[in-house]
Amino acid sequence: MNWKGVLPAITTSFTEDLRVDHSFLTRHCHWLLDNGCAGIVALGSLGEGAALSFDEKVEILRTCVSAVHGRGPVVASISALTTSEAVAVAKAAAEVGCDALMVLPPYVYHGNSREMKTHVATVFAATPLSCMLYNNPVAYGTDFLPEQIRELAAEHENFEAVKESSTDVRRVSAIRALLDRRLEISVGVDDAGVGATGWIAGLANALPRESVDLFHHGINGESDKAFELYRWFLPLLRMDTVPNFVQLIKLVQAEVGMGNSRVRPPRLQLIGGELEQTSRIIRDALGSRPQPAGSYALTSRK
């Protein structure tokens, strides 16, 4: 498993009756890979995993595996209310051909460190697939400290990566100090990426080429190019850091003609002044894109 590069946390597109749009999902996967993304991460928070049934999750993974067809890894996000449900999703992901798992702490219950370690360790042990730990204390109320990550790495050979979203820029260096290169570290907050070797990206759903370019400029030490692109991108990247990030990122997708803004309740589409303000920010950013749209593998609007 190669955890390096830009792996979009892919959104789940819905039809007008809020069923999963598998046809669009296939097209979206193709487009993301055509624009330089290294693989696909499905069923995460941005994919509205909490609003999907078990059967829907399995079918989405099946569609992604078929669409990617070996061009890159398909990573299944494993999130659930219970450990047994998380294990069932992990095993199903392995059965349909996913390459790796991104393991989240359980929804709702914010247990102590022993309970959270047991939960993710049980999922790690459920399959031989390469595993990434998703550490997002802001969203999930559970913080895996570097010392706890070291314990898990010592006990589970297939634990190979961390998606670090604590918003503490010192965390990457702290993990490196304890584990050196034992784990790959991806950033999961779109507006912060110091020291990471991968990016589980949100805005890549709508702007994959810009995301890939930004990542490569940073990795290659091209600071002037990176900061120029980052300054342009920042108003959009910040949309990945707020509670209604799914609605916001889907709005950007709709604006570039790659998706729609539909979400599943309890999420609701933006309305009124909030919609107007957000749409203005998006249009202003897209109106000053650093490269002409013709240089990107854009889809036609539908």
Indicate which residues carry an active-site annotation.
Answer: 134, 163
The Cα 282–Cα 289 span in angstroms is 11
The residues, any chain, with a CB within 8 Å of residue 81's CB and separated by 6 or more, are: 106, 107, 108, 109
The Cα 286–Cα 49 span in angstroms is 28
Closest CA to 150 of 172, 191, 192, 178: 178
Closest CA to 47 of 71, 66, 74: 74
For residue 79 the two structure tokens come to 């999130």
Query: Residues of 62-87 as b/e, b for ≥16 C-beta within 10 angstroms?
Result: bbbbebbeeebbbbbbbbbeebeebb
The H-assigned helical ranges of the chain are 22-34, 54-68, 83-95, 113-124, 137-140, 146-155, 170-179, 208-219, 223-237, 245-256, 272-287
CB 26 within 8 A of CB 236: no
Closest CA to 8 of 42, 45, 48: 42
For residue 293 the two structure tokens come to 């749209």
* Dihedral of alpha carbons 286, 287, 289, 292, sign: positive
Give the DSSP H/E element, type plus range, for residue 75: strand 74-78
Residue with tokens 């010592």: 154
244: β partners:
none
